[in-house]
């Protein structure tokens, strides 16, 4: 997942001197040759596993760790890190690891420190938010649940919707389900009205929610603040919903309160942009490369004990 790492690494390879800005620069002749440290295969494997999961890199062979050398800072070893992808893109950085192997530091501004003792997935406890009586696509008994916070006016959400539909109904049929949470952004003027329309349609017919979602996403370019209600009415009529009941719901408090609750839930779990997905609690911001997202889902299936069964089927 090189694009994400380009942001994390700041498009640069960082020098050890960034940790010692107050010291005068040494002349080339006076610069000491880094002292290589004994190989530590167990730590290498742990670092690779952590980096792969933390940054959602589907292929561990795309992670290249250089040999560890003593750094100018006591208690820290330094090594190069290069991450690439199938398209030939790559990004490099220097990482520092504490002598006990418990922390990794990315030397960027600001410096990023990672606790290697913690679960690299950094799973969020989804029990802290409201998941009952929400739109669900897929089998209720699916072992992997993807909670999606999305906005009907968001073009990235439209792309994610198509991907998720294919995964639920084809690639991972019976293995994953998608639960939708409304997170209309303030920058999108008709998103809240669309969220109310889809929610009120769901209250008449649960399956209608996904038809509304599909219509909103495919028609984003032609929907405006002025015609959003007309568009909602047209979809409702096509689905044989009661338009008067739909309007009363959209102008009432029940649907509004549910959308607002979804927004509050998003804030609770740290949502800042759409789409944000939680794959069995693993936060995925935006929709990553297809291989990376498939890998995250497969990893969660494996953890649930159903991954090998899926491959057999």
Please report whether residue 121 resides in a domain. Answer: no
Alpha helices in 219-274 (DSSP H): 228-238, 243-250, 254-268
Taking CA atoms, 87 is separated from 90, 269, 303, in Å, by: 9, 33, 29
Residues 6+ apart with CB under 8 A from 224: 190
The Cα–Cα gap between 68 and 82 comes to: 14
pLDDT of residue 307: 56
Q: What percent of the chain has pLDDT over 90?
A: 79
Q: Tell how far CA 139 is from the center of its chain.
A: 22
Confidence of residue 305 (pLDDT cuts 50, 70, 90): confident
The pTM (predicted TM-score) of the whole model is 0.84
Q: Do 24 and 156 share a domain, yes or no? A: no
**Tens-place pLDDT, residues 73-128:** 899 999 999 999 888 899 999 999 999 999 999 877 678 899 999 999 999 999 99
The answer to whether the beta carbons of residues 307 and 175 sit under 8 Å apart is no
Q: How many residues does the chain have?
A: 313
**Tens-place pLDDT, residues 5-58:** 444 443 332 233 333 333 344 444 445 678 899 999 999 999 999 999 999 999
What's the number of domains the chain is made of?
Answer: 2
The Cα–Cα gap between 9 and 235 comes to: 45
Structural domain for 302, as ranges: 126-312
Q: Do 243 and 156 share a domain, yes or no? A: yes
Answer whether residue 131 shows pLDDT above 50: yes
pLDDT of residue 125: 94
Q: Do 29 and 62 share a domain, yes or no? A: yes
> Of 80, 115, 150, which one is at a domain's C-terminal end?
115
The Cα–Cα gap between 215 and 18 comes to: 51
> Of 115, 136, 164, which one is at a domain's C-terminal end?
115
Q: What is the mean pLDDT of residues 216-221?
A: 97
Q: Do 300 and 205 share a domain, yes or no? A: yes
The answer to whether the beta carbons of residues 168 and 298 sit under 8 Å apart is no
Please report whether residue 255 resides in a domain. Answer: yes
């Amino acid at each position: 997942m090189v694009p994400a790492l380009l942001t994390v690494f700041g498009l640069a390879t960082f020098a050890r001197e960034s940790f010692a800005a107050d010291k005068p620069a040494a002349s080339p002749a006076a610069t000491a040759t880094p002292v290589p440290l004994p190989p530590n295969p167990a730590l290498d494997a742990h670092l690779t596993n952590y980096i792969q999961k933390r940054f959602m890199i589907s292929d561990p062979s795309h992670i290249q760790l250089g040999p560890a050398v003593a750094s100018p800072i006591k208690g820290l070893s330094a090594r190069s890190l290069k991450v690439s992808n199938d398209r030939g893109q790559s990004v490099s950085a220097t990482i520092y690891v504490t002598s006990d192997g418990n922390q990794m530091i990315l030397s960027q501004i600001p410096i990023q420190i990672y606790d290697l003792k913690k679960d690299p997935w950094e799973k969020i406890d989804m029990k802290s938010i409201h998941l009952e009586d929400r739109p669900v696509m897929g089998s209720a008994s699916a072992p992997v649940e993807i909670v999606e916070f999305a906005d009907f006016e968001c073009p990235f959400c439209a792309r994610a919707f198509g991907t998720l539909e294919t995964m639920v109904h084809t690639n991972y049929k019976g293995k994953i389900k998608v639960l939708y949470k409304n997170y209309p952004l303030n920058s999108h003027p008709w998103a809240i009205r669309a969220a109310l329309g889809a929610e009120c349609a769901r209250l008449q017919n649960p399956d209608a929610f996904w038809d509304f979602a599909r219509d909103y996403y495919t028609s984003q370019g032609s929907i405006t603040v002025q015609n959003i209600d007309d568009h909602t009415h047209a979809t409702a009529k096509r689905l044989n919903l009661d338009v008067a009941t739909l309007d009363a719901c959209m102008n009432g408090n029940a649907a509004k309160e549910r959308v607002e609750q979804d927004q509050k839930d998003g804030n609770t779990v740290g949502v800042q942009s759409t789409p944000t997905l939680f794959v069995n609690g693993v936060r995925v911001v935006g929709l990553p490369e297809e291989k990376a997202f498939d890998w995250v889902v497969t990893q969660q299936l494996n953890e649930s004990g159903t991954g090998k069964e899926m491959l057999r089927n």
